[in-house]
Structure formats: C-alpha cells, structure tokens
Structure 1
Amino acid sequence: MHPPFVLDGRSLTPAAVADVARRGRLVTLAPAGRARNADAYAATGTIVASGGTVYGVTTGVGPLREVAVDRHAGDASSRRLLRSHAGGGGAEMTIDLVRAAMVVRANQVAAGGAGLSPGLLDSLVDALNAGLVPAVRELGSLGTGDLSVLAEIALALLGEGEMIAASSGRRAPAAQALEAAGLRPPELSLRDGLGFVSSGAASIGHAALVAVDFRGLHDASLAVGALSFDAGEADTIVLDARVQAARPHPGQMAVAERMRQLLGEGDEMPRATRTGASVHDAYPYRCFPQVEGAMHAVVAALDAVLAVELNAASENALIVAADEVALPNGNFHGGVVALALDALRAALAQSATLAAGRVSLLLDAGFTGLPAMLAANPGPDSGAMILEYTAHTAAGEVRWLAAPVSAQAISVGAGVESHGSLATLGARVAHRAIERAQEIVAVELVLAVRAMRMRGRRPGSAPLRGVYSIATAELPASLEDRPLHADLEAARRVLHGLSVVPA
C-alpha cells in the first residue's frame, strides 16, 4: 500500500484519484492546504461581520440571490441549503465515483478559495479514510457545479441519509455508520452550505477516472494492434519513421514509435511479404498511426485540463483571504472538461471503427491467406464469424455515444443560470464508450491469437511474444465451433495487463 496521498491543493493527479477511489489509498491534508482553508474561513467571518455581502452566505442562491439571509443563522442556514439541494435522481453512483468526488473536493478546498469550517473539511477526509461512502444519485448536475451530488455527500457527513462501506458494500444510516467508525458530525458555519457544493468535483473526479481508463485502453490497443499486424501479416511500412516525419503530429509519431518497438523493428520498416499482398493495405491497418495518434493527443489534452481542474479553487464566491474579499465568478463552470471529454469520445469512435475494420480483415481469407472466418473447416464450420458482428455492434454504439454533450442549450434558475456544460453527462457517456471499445479490442485480440495459432508460429519480436504468451495462457486453443463468450471474457482480463508490456 502506498503512503497516504498528501492533499495540498496543488499536486492531485488522475492516477492519484484512481488510487484513492478504487484502491482505498489513504489521504492526509498538507499543513499548507489546511492553513489556506483556515485563512479563507477566517476571512469569510471577517467579511460577514463587517457587513459585507457574500453570495450564498448572506444572500439566497440562484434566482434568489437578491434575497438577504440572516447572517447569524450559521449551522441552520447551511443545513437548510444542503437539504434543499439534495434532490438527485436516477441510479446511485458507484463507490469509486463518489470517492473520486470526495477526494477532488477535499483537494480543491485545500487550494484555499472555499473557506469551509475546518471541522467539515476534516470530516470529509476522515470519511474517505474510514471507507465510508455516501449513497448519492447520479442525476442533478448540469456541469455548472455538481450541486445535488455534493449536497448529498455533505448531508451524509452530517449523519443524514445513508452510507456504504467501501470494503463490504454494506449499507447503514449515515449517523450509525459514522458512530461505528468513531466519527462525529461537524457543526456547520454559514459558509459551509454553498461553500461545499459550489464545485464540479463529481464531474472532475469522474473525468479523472475516464482519463486513467482511456489511457489503459489506448496502451492495450497498441499492443493488440501490433499483434494484429503480425498475425494478419499486414504491411508495416505505414509505421516507418519517414512517413511520420512527413506529417509530424506528436501523437501519430509516438504511436508509430511504440508500434515499431512492439514489432521489434527500427525506424525503417520492411514491406509486407504475405502472398497476394496489395500495393497497400486497407485503411484499418494503413491509417493505424494516424487514428491512434489522435487517441494519444486527446488523452494528453484531457490530462492537461485535469492538471488544472484537480487543483483549482472553483467556488463562487471565491474567498481571497489576503484581501478579505469574496469575488463572484464562474470557476465552477465545467465547459473545458466537457469539451475535452467530447473530443475524447470522438477520437474513440474513430479508433473503435478502425479496430472493427481490422476484425473484418482478420476474418477475410483474401487478406490473411488463412481459412475464411478463421474456421478449422470453413463451410461446415463458421469459425469466429459472429465476433465480427459483436465488434461492429459495439463500434456502432461507440459512434452513437460520440455525440457532443457540450453543445446542448440549457437555461434554469429563472434565466440566471442560462448555460450548462453537462460535463458530468460527458464523463458518464465516456465511461460507457470505453467499456464498449474494450469489447472491440478484446475481439481483435481473440482473432489475432487465433490467426497466429493457425499460422503455426509465434510472433517475430520479443515484446509481442510477451503479449502472445499472456494471451495464450488465458485464451482457449480449440478452433472447433463453440460458444465464444469464454474467449471474450478471457480477452478482457488480458487487456488489463497489456498496458505495461515492455518494449
């Protein structure tokens, strides 16, 4: 187990979010992060005591922003706001998504713009470390602050609603779960209601997990793609360094270089030698570095967005402790995250379509020179024919899921909140698209291994022999007609180990 991750409001990464959300890594607050929040908390008190206006503290929220609120109401006012905003619908969020939202929110508060009461921040961190997960519903965020999700998390920290034990999945009333863990609900300040929920932490946390999963899929896709090149005896000249230098997109160049490493070749690649090879192959192989290069580029762009978002103060109003002012702003708006996720899904749709095309080519006797449908006895046997249908069905869904969510028009709150990014929806749809794309890569792996077995040889490079050994240890060797569910399940397991294949 790694040492606790230090939440300093400066250095949270998608990988660290995944460690906390999925593997239970503990967290601790950096003294500097704790101090920044404490300073903002004190500054809020000074502003309110001097008669200043702080949105959501001395006023109502949304279309009620002009209504004055009793500035001495404290705990009662914050509880009222949290309860009124806990109106999420739909299915419950999974444990990892809620934990991702929690760790992101804690780190954002450590950035220093929220000014939460120290007790509420400690309660958030303590619940994370105790493995207590609030039961939270997925609908209710328009991508301009994840209000309902964060309100439900905050209420659970106060002992309202339900909590789930991350280790066992057992549910209990929140008050009971906190007591069993030796935790006490905090008292709230006037700032804690809106101060806690004015954030896109759920969208950002989900996007961080999407980035981790997408990168894993991309890395596995390259390993499977290289095996597919070898098994199909496709023309690797398209990976030649001279080709990439003529159009030097960084992603394209990086993908081609990785493929050359996997295939055990230098910068200058050999031409295809298979019988009947064309002057050049069809797009699924010929355009591999261009399409997968786009995948490389979009996840790098998402990582750059998240490097800022995971460590940014996103609250409205933003408390600037040094100046003792509360600044109205739109830092909660998730447009930049939604746009990055839209681009990611669009690139994934291209990759999925190309991978499904390679599936079709691996089943084509005219391309591989192997028996049609990779069947032991074509005609009486159908071989792996049905897997082409599976791959193209999944590719169709990935393309459907690529529709941009950020272009939708939204206006709520009597026109005050007249724009929404739907970043949370973008992350949720991206998660689904990745799952479907994994199915296509799993099919390609099954067929590449089957083709290699039918050729009666092992891959030509040491890295690919490593990939092949991992795959053949899991995939059934029989070529007879039989249900292929087990093959796909085995291939999905194999994919998780293919993102770390040495070159």
Structure 2
Amino acid sequence: MSTDRSRSVGSPRARAAGGPPRASNPSRSCPRRVSTCGRPAIPCRSMELHCRWMEQFSGVARRSRGRAGLIDFVTYPEHGVHTCAVGRRVRSVVLIAPGRTDPPPGGSAVPDGSMRSSPAAGRPADREQSVDEIAITGTDLDIAGVFAVSRSVAGAVLADAGRANIEASWRFAIDEATRRPLYGRSTGVGANRTVPVTGDRTAHALDLLRSHATSAGAPRSADRVRAMLVIRLNQLAAGGSGAGPGLADGLVGMLRADALPVVREWGSIGTGDLSALATTALTLLGELPTVDGRTLPPVPFEGPDGLAFISSNAATLADAALGTTELLVLARACLGIAALTFAAVDGNAEAFAPAVRQATPFPGVGVVCASMRRLVGEGDARPPARIQDPFGLRALPQVMGPVLDALSGANAVLVRMINAPSENPVLLPPTDTAPGQVAHHGAFYASYLQSALDGLNLAVAQSGQLVMARLATLIEPAFTGLAPFLSDGTPGASGVMVCEYVAASALGELRAAAQPAGLQTVTLSRGVEEDASFASLAASATRRMAGPLRTLLAAELVAAVRAHRMRAASVTGPVGELLEVCAALPAATEDRDLTEDLRIAEELLPSIARLVPLTG
C-alpha cells in the first residue's frame, strides 16, 4: 500500500523493535475532497479528521471524535486563521496562510495547562497507544503537522512522492558532480570554498559534521527537537538537497523510536542551523548518543550527504512554529479576559462597532471587533459608564488586530520555508517541463522569517502594555466602584496590589524579548560571510514571549474575576460562561499570598481561549 496516505501504526516501542505497522482502517479516511462551500479541501492527515469549511466566516465548524479527544474547529478564512481545540487532554491551534481556502487536517497539539516546555514536553500520558502518521511529501507540511509530531500526537512516514523527490535530486547531484564544482562536495565550506577536496570525500564529510557539531548551552526540549526533525525530513523530501535517502529514513526512524539527538541551545545565527543538524547527523551515524543514552545503528552515508543534510534552518523554523502557535492561544485568551474586564467596568462597546472596521481597515481589527461584539454584546449587558473608555479597552482592536495579522503573516512565511528545498547549493532534477538546475545561493539567509517574527514580537509586546492598562483600570475605584486594589475594604489593605507589580515585571521581560533581532549583525569565516539574519534569535524570542505574556494575562484574570465577584451582579451570556470557567480561582478577598491564584489563572488560559471565537 502506498505511504502517501496517513495510516495508523503500532506503538513506538513496537516500531522501534521493527514490528510491522498496523493496517489502515479505510473507514477512517476522509470521505470528502470538496468542502460544503465549494472550495477544494485536502485529504486528512494528522488525525484523519475532517471538518466543514464554513461560508461567511462561521464559528465552530464540526465536532469529531479523534484519538486525542473531542475536537472543535473554528475557522476564519479571510484572516487566515484555523483553530482547533482538542478535548480535555490537549488544546490545539493551526494557522493558515493568507488566501488559503482549504483547512489543514487534524490539529496541532498544545498541552493543557501552562503549556510550558520541558525535556519531556508533549509526551502523551500513555506512549504505548498507537498514533497516526503524517505522510511527508515535501510539499504540504503545515504547522498542524509540525505540532502534532512535536507532541507525539502523530508520527511521520516518508511518502512515495517524497522519496521519489529525494532520489531524483540525489541522482542528479551525482551526475552534476562529474560536470562542475559543487560547494561542499568538491570544495571546503565557508572561507575554504576555494579549497578543493581531495582524497576520501566521505571521510572529509564526516570531519565536516564533527567540526560543525560544536555547540553550547542547555539541551533543547524534546518537543523542539521533534519539530526540527520533521521539518528537516520534509525539506529533504522537497527534492533539492542532493542527499541520499538514508538520512531521510534515519529521521523517520528517530521519530518513530523517539530516539532524539542532544541538540544544544546556541550555535545558530540565522544562516543555517549547522550545529543542531550536524549533531543530528552524527547521532544518526552512531557517533553521538541520543538523549536517553542509546547508540543508533549507522544509516547509509556518503560524502556528499554531509553539507547537504546540515544546510537548513530547520531548528529555527521549529522554534518559530511552536512559538507562534502558543501565541495564538494566548491571543484568544487575551480577548476573553479583556471581555471580563470590559464587563467589570461597564465598558462602552462602541469601540468594537462595525464602523471601527472601516475606520481601521485591516483584517485583524475586524476579527477583534467581531469577536468582542459576540463576547460582550450578548446577555445582560449594562449601559456604558463612559462616553469612551481608557485605551486598554478602547484601543483593543488596534493593538490586538496587529497581533493576529502578524501571526498570520509569520505563518505564511513558515509554511513556505518548511516546504522549500533551501539547501545550498540547490540541486533541482529535471522534470517533464523543466531542465535540471543547480544554483549556489543565499536562501539560508532567513531574513523573511526574521522580519516576520520581529514584527510579531513587537506587536505582542505592545499588547502587553494594554494588559497593564486594563489591570490599572480594575484596581481603580473610579471605574469599578469597589475598594482600591479590589481589597476587602479593610483600611490600608493591599488586595491585588502586588499583582500589578508582578505583571509589570513580566512586561519588562516581554519588552526585552521583543528587541528586533534584525538589528544584529556579525562578520565570520575570514570575512566571507559578512552578515547574518539572526532569525534564530527572533524565533527563540517568539517562543520565550509566551511565558511573561501568560503571567500578564493571569494577573488581569485574577483581578477581573475578583471584581465580578465583589460586584455580585448577575452575568449571563459569553461573559457568564467565561466566569464559570474561572470557578477554580479562590474567592477569599482578605490580604494573602496570591501566587497560587496566578498559577491557577495561567492554567485556565487554554480553557478561556477555547471560548473565544475568531470570526470576522
């Protein structure tokens, strides 16, 4: 049976031991190839689920039972956002590139709770359960698939089409190497590009991997490494590296056995993740141990495979994919918490009126306005207390809109780069319509990604300031009619005062992480490489921003819920549902340590996000 379609496979342990894959269940394949609105759909892969693509930006599209649990799909085609929330065990989110009209299959798995990474992040409670596998073709891997693999919700299998692409480029490279010099094959690398390689080229390639595996810092978490591996596998399957199929098969085996390389934090400057991928290659060759101390049997390796394998930004793309996905979860939670604050201070909903979309004609603004109208415009809405609110509420569309637009733009860049043969040199074999092509180039210089992530990071940092502004509104009696700092009324009581300080500390961290990586520069390798994109720094910052943003949102949530409880007003509709989700927050208002309250609030963020529609 062709491997181009997703299939159910045995447990990771059985596969690692060489056991045969479990047969496919035809009844689980996608029954449709065209959505109900007439737009083309693609076959389901990650968890072989399907959903209806709704016209006019409708909300929940379909519920379907999958292995990971109950899944809700929410779509917003114009803005390019597709979100998916999975059951109680995991939450998931998918971004779609602008203009794409087909929903990606399955969903990306984001763990419930705080969503923090750890060395074992994302492993299901029962690793012995069978998982689905994504067919890697080199053309259609999306962030949903990357996340599913990173969290061990799905594995990866090299599709027939992907293998054909690899083998065609491999044969073409062998032929071209007899006709002309090729960088890294017949020459050294970097400043050694003019030095011809003589003697045993396989030995030279091994020396190249050994030297380039040099790195420093703490080992990366398992989810980040898995994401890197599946992205690199897909790039190889795009068919431009000239590497042989042995390394690609080795990556598939690594993921199946969860035998991960020890990839350290530092070594990349946004011109190729050479250290991370050289370490991976040496692990595949049995020269370096896996994270858990295993030594893998060596995969087939030839001299040209050395540079061909490590010429990629796969580790940077992995960080960016994981970071942007989590930021979308938090962006949705931010809107839900802002709705709670709005209701607690009797805000003015004119800030979200349809006219605002015309006054600020950007897709993200339309999403925020429509979502906020659905959240605060239903139920027992009270008359507004002011002709216009402070910026924390009034400028919410103009600040959160850019966040959503930046997420969409970053996703578009990510999807293109994940599915591009970006190796240097690129070796594109001949096809029925085009001759073979060889090009030495600078596609490894990831400036598109760096620019997209820098813009996203700045937008997220700006949104953090509005969280602080809303928190300041909640502790002010002029807006709530309650005691200062939402205290219990005891003279001099602090209430949630220190939550504001904690939030300010987190905001400082958020701003520090948002410093543009594009301002960095460096000259290396005897002056031959006179600049760098530092996209790796931007991606690391994107991933790190989720931590302080969670703390900021948790502080606002603690204050907003306390304000509602102290007002003791009847609240129905979506805001009432949001309050019900927050029932786990302690109700006591006397002065006490609120550290546990903030922790609980952080754990509630995915549940709040699930109640927030992204509609336009």
- TM-score range (shorter-chain normalised) is over 0.9
Equivalent position to 1:111, from 238, 244, 256:
238
Cα distance in structure 2, aligned partners of 1:258 and 1:282: 19
Task: Report the equivalent of 1:181.
Answer: none
**SS across alignment from 2:241:** coil
Q: Which amino acid letter does the alignment assign opposite residue 304 of structure 2?
A: R
Kindly tell me the number of residue pairs found equivalent between the two proteins: 480
Shift of residue 132, structure 1, vs aligned partner: 1.2
- Distance verdict in 2 for CA 1:413–1:157, change over 3 Å: same
Task: Report the equivalent of 1:17.
Answer: 146
- Cα deviation, 1:158-204, whole Å, max 9, x if unaligned, reads 1122312xxxxxx21x41xx3xxxxx211311221100110111111
Checking the alignment, whether the CA contact within 8 Å between 1:375 and 1:384 is kept in structure 2 is yes
Equivalent position to 1:141, from 268, 277, 281:
268
Task: Report the equivalent of 2:347.
Answer: 234
Cα distance in structure 1, aligned partners of 2:285 and 2:589: 59
**SS across alignment from 2:453:** helix
Task: Report the equivalent of 2:485.
Answer: 373
The within-5 A match list for 1:212-251 is: 212-251=325-364
Answer yes or no: is 1:469 the counterpart of 2:611: no
Shift of residue 232, structure 1, vs aligned partner: 2.2
- Distance verdict in 2 for CA 1:489–1:253, change over 3 Å: same
**SS across alignment from 1:90:** strand
Checking the alignment, whether the CA contact within 8 Å between 2:335 and 2:612 is kept in structure 1 is no
Shift of residue 123, structure 1, vs aligned partner: 0.4
Moved more, 121-130 or 92-101: 92-101
Shift of residue 324, structure 1, vs aligned partner: 4.6
Checking the alignment, whether the CA contact within 8 Å between 2:360 and 2:398 is kept in structure 1 is no
Shift of residue 278, structure 1, vs aligned partner: 3.7
Cα distance in structure 2, aligned partners of 1:23 and 1:453: 40
Task: Report the equivalent of 1:89.
Answer: 216
The within-5 A match list for 1:69-468 is: 69-70=197-198, 73-164=200-291, 171-172=292-293, 174-175=294-295, 178=296, 184-265=297-378, 273=383, 277-322=385-430, 323-461=435-573, 463-468=574-579
Checking the alignment, whether the CA contact within 8 Å between 1:372 and 1:378 is kept in structure 2 is no
Shift of residue 244, structure 1, vs aligned partner: 2.3
Q: Which amino acid letter does the alignment assign opposite residue 480 of structure 2?
A: T
Checking the alignment, whether the CA contact within 8 Å between 1:47 and 1:325 is kept in structure 2 is no
Task: Report the equivalent of 2:44.
Answer: none
Shift of residue 297, structure 1, vs aligned partner: 0.9
Task: Report the equivalent of 2:64.
Answer: none
Moved more, 236-245 or 489-498: 236-245
Checking the alignment, whether the CA contact within 8 Å between 1:55 and 1:61 is kept in structure 2 is yes
Checking the alignment, whether the CA contact within 8 Å between 2:132 and 2:153 is kept in structure 1 is no
Q: Which amino acid letter does the alignment assign opposite residue 55 of structure 1?
A: Y
Q: Which amino acid letter does the alignment assign opposite residue 444 of structure 1?
A: E
Q: Which amino acid letter does the alignment assign opposite residue 469 of structure 1?
A: E
Task: Report the equivalent of 2:610.
Answer: 500
Equivalent position to 1:56, from 150, 171, 184:
184
Gapped regions of structure 2 (runs ≥ 5)? 1-66, 68-130
Moved more, 140-149 or 225-234: 225-234
Equivalent position to 2:590, from 480, 494, 499:
480
TM-score calculated relative to the size of structure 2? 0.76
Shift of residue 444, structure 1, vs aligned partner: 0.8
Shift of residue 347, structure 1, vs aligned partner: 0.3
Shift of residue 502, structure 1, vs aligned partner: 5.8
Moved more, 485-494 or 430-439: 430-439
Checking the alignment, whether the CA contact within 8 Å between 1:74 and 1:188 is kept in structure 2 is no
Checking the alignment, whether the CA contact within 8 Å between 1:57 and 1:190 is kept in structure 2 is yes
Task: Report the equivalent of 1:491.
Answer: 601
Cα distance in structure 2, aligned partners of 1:325 and 1:421: 26
Shift of residue 400, structure 1, vs aligned partner: 2.1
- Cα deviation, 1:50-104, whole Å, max 9, x if unaligned, reads 242111011100000011113x624322211100101111222111111111111
Cα distance in structure 2, aligned partners of 1:151 and 1:8: 23
**SS across alignment from 2:151:** helix
- Cα deviation, 1:424-447, whole Å, max 9, x if unaligned, reads 111112222221011111111111
Q: Which amino acid letter does the alignment assign opposite residue 115 of structure 1?
A: G
**SS across alignment from 1:23:** coil
Checking the alignment, whether the CA contact within 8 Å between 1:78 and 1:188 is kept in structure 2 is no
Shift of residue 327, structure 1, vs aligned partner: 1.4
Cα distance in structure 1, aligned partners of 2:484 and 2:512: 30
Cα distance in structure 1, aligned partners of 2:579 and 2:132: 35
Checking the alignment, whether the CA contact within 8 Å between 1:134 and 1:163 is kept in structure 2 is yes
**SS across alignment from 1:163:** coil
- Cα deviation, 1:356-387, whole Å, max 9, x if unaligned, reads 11011101111111111111124242111110
Moved more, 73-82 or 90-99: 73-82
Cα distance in structure 2, aligned partners of 1:199 and 1:454: 55
Cα distance in structure 2, aligned partners of 1:435 and 1:280: 32
Q: Which amino acid letter does the alignment assign opposite residue 141 of structure 1?
A: S
Q: Which amino acid letter does the alignment assign opposite residue 190 of structure 2?
A: G
Q: Which amino acid letter does the alignment assign opposite residue 273 of structure 1?
A: P
Greater than 4 Å deviation, 4+ residue runs: none
- Distance verdict in 2 for CA 1:432–1:502, change over 3 Å: closer
Q: Which amino acid letter does the alignment assign opposite residue 252 of structure 2?
A: V
Provide the alpha-carbon RMSD of the alignment.
1.7
Shift of residue 110, structure 1, vs aligned partner: 0.4
- Percent identity of equivalent pairs: 38
Shift of residue 273, structure 1, vs aligned partner: 3.3
**SS across alignment from 1:26:** strand
**SS across alignment from 1:162:** coil
Checking the alignment, whether the CA contact within 8 Å between 1:232 and 1:448 is kept in structure 2 is no
Cα distance in structure 2, aligned partners of 1:293 and 1:347: 9
Shift of residue 499, structure 1, vs aligned partner: 2.1
Cα distance in structure 1, aligned partners of 2:196 and 2:322: 40
Q: Which amino acid letter does the alignment assign opposite residue 274 of structure 2?
A: L
- Distance verdict in 2 for CA 1:23–1:356, change over 3 Å: farther
Checking the alignment, whether the CA contact within 8 Å between 1:226 and 1:263 is kept in structure 2 is yes
Cα distance in structure 1, aligned partners of 2:217 and 2:165: 36
Larger % of helix: which?
1
**SS across alignment from 2:148:** helix
Cα distance in structure 2, aligned partners of 1:259 and 1:319: 50
Checking the alignment, whether the CA contact within 8 Å between 1:24 and 1:131 is kept in structure 2 is no
- Cα deviation, 1:281-310, whole Å, max 9, x if unaligned, reads 211111111101111110011011112011
Answer yes or no: is 1:39 the counterpart of 2:39: no
Cα distance in structure 2, aligned partners of 1:29 and 1:8: 7
